[in-house]
Amino acid sequence: MSVAPGYVATLGRSVEATRALFAAAACSVALVEEDGATLRFVASDGAGAEEIVGVTIPVSRGIAGWAAMSGQPIAVRDVQTDARFARDVAESTHYVPTAILAAPLLDADGEVLGVASVLDPAVDQASEWTLHVLGTLASHMALLVTASGGELTQADDGLGRLGGDLLRLVAAWQSSGQSSGPSSGQSSGPSPGRSGEPADER
């Protein structure tokens, strides 16, 4: 797990728990910079974690960028076929994924604070369950970011409770066996960002 200096460790633990839930190769969170035109990766766990934290990309680039600009979650099964994939950024982390899930972090007013991304999850990316769960977790991460004002090295009691809530949510899903989602090959309907829709690198 890697967290940029100045950011709450609870956010890093949330990213770590999310990666474990999806049995993914990596998971990261990028936040929108004050200029509104840039995403900065501030927390990551798994493959390329050390390399991606601190990296910035234009909000108009990549699958994460698409999720930030559209405010919608996205699932891309094969990034090599998606023109939005920022391969150069992925290569800089020494890990190039095959599939990416991404969901925006939204504040109470619906403004995009950032994006949570999951690389190569071991779940059915075609199911609505997958993006629904990631969206729920992204909402909890947004609460952490909002409560901390973005940057804070010491989480107060409120932040600790928010982080604990997210970790308990992940643990509940894991213990109930829901992390496998619908059985392979089943899909409860079309989901945003599937083949033919926009995507990004992390």
Contacts of 20 (CB under 8 A, 6+ apart): 170, 174
Does the structure show a pLDDT above 70 at 117? Answer: yes
Q: What percent of the chain has pLDDT over 70?
A: 70
Does the structure show a pLDDT above 60 at 32? Answer: yes
pLDDT at 202: 54
CB-based contact 59:34 (threshold 8 Å): no
pLDDT at 10: 82
DSSP state of 117: E
Rounded to a whole number of angstroms, the distance between the first and last alpha carbons of the chain is 15
Does the structure show a pLDDT above 90 at 61? Answer: yes
pLDDT at 165: 61
pLDDT at 24: 95
Average pLDDT over residues 94-110: 95
User: 68 — phi, psi (to 5°)?
Assistant: -65, -45
Output 183 or 49, whichever has higher pLDDT: 49
pLDDT digits (tens, 9 = 90+) for 7-27: 768 888 889 989 998 999 999
Strand ranges in 73-111 using DSSP code E only, listed in sequence order: 74-76, 100-106
pLDDT at 167: 63
Does the structure show a pLDDT above 50 at 182? Answer: no
Amino acid identity, residue 196?
A: G
Average pLDDT in the chain? 80
Q: What percent of the chain has pLDDT over 90?
A: 54
129 band by pLDDT with thresholds 50, 70 and 90: confident
Does the structure show a pLDDT above 60 at 107? Answer: yes
Q: Tell me how far apart the alpha carbons of residues 79 and 193 are, in angstroms, rounded to a whole number.
A: 11
